Amino acid sequence: MLELRNISAGYDTGLVLRDVSIVVPDKSVVALLGPNGAGKTTLLRVASGLLRPALGQIVIDGVDATGMRPYELAQRGVCHVPEGRGIFPALTVSDNIRLQAPPASTKSSIHRVTSVFPRLGERSSQMAGTMSGGEQQMLALGHAYVCNPSVVLLDEVSMGLAPKIVDEIFSYLHDLASQGTALLLVEQYVSRALALADFVYILNRGEVSFAGEPGEISEETVLNSYLGSLAS
């Protein structure tokens, strides 16, 4: 279980998150929603160790992991798929998978990813940056299939993709969740996120404005939280 307790964090320009607490139980899908600038990406960066919180704790399975580096959190089962295609565009598809794979399991990792994403197998020797946006996102998601994580942090993995590819991406996410991997999902398609999620948090201006189950919130309520942020 991943817990972020009373997190305050930001950058040189000031705090972005203020006293944010969320819980991602084992084998669950948690949707993290909110307007642009609410602090969603910042929270995922804190959870993966890319950004140290000014206050608060990161707790994994009851152990305080605050201050751990990204590779240490990865060793504890945290996998981060960042916004904007988390790949190495100048390397081949196979080399990208090799970099993501645990030591001594390169061959099996390539087989696993290409069995889930057959198109990547067809493009194994192609430079990753020359593939389509959807194929690049599949390669980024491949990380979650090779490192055997307990929780995957997903930041806008459907952004900029055609509707058909978005359908495929959500099919893969459903498959990943059905295998027992916990997901913390930041997503622009609210209805899709709510359909997949067991729990929902809404961030607004760096604070949690809603926490509960999808059945406790309507899309209208979510929309109002977005529009309210714009109006203010």
Q: How far is CA 73 from CA 6, 14, 28, 183, in A?
A: 19, 25, 19, 15
Q: What is the mean pLDDT of the chain?
A: 91
CA distance 195 to 183: 13
Indicate whether 229 pLDDT > 60: no
CA distance 76 to 178: 21
Indicate whether 230 pLDDT > 70: no
Q: What is the pTM of this model?
A: 0.92
User: 119 pLDDT band (50/70/90 cuts)?
Assistant: very high
What amino acid occupies position 35? P
For the segment 196-224, the average pLDDT, to the nearest whole number, is 88
Indicate whether 61 pLDDT > 70: yes
Do the strands 151-155 and 78-81 form a parallel or antiparallel pair, or are they unpaired?
parallel
Give percent of the chain with pLDDT exceeding 70: 97
Lowest-pLDDT range of 5-9, 100-104, 170-174? 100-104
Alpha helices in 9-132 (DSSP H): 40-47, 70-75, 93-100, 106-116, 118-122
User: 217 pLDDT band (50/70/90 cuts)?
Assistant: confident
In eight-state DSSP terms, residue 42 is H
In eight-state DSSP terms, residue 127 is B
Q: Secondary structure of the chain: what % helix, strand, coil (to 5)?
A: 40, 25, 35
Greater confidence (83 vs 32) lies with: 32
Q: Where are the beta strands (DSSP E) in the chain?
A: 2-11, 14-24, 29-33, 55-60, 63-64, 78-81, 151-155, 182-186, 199-204, 207-212
- pLDDT tens-digit readout, 168-208: 999 999 999 999 999 999 998 888 999 999 999 999 999 99
- pLDDT tens-digit readout, 131-155: 999 999 999 999 888 888 999 999 9
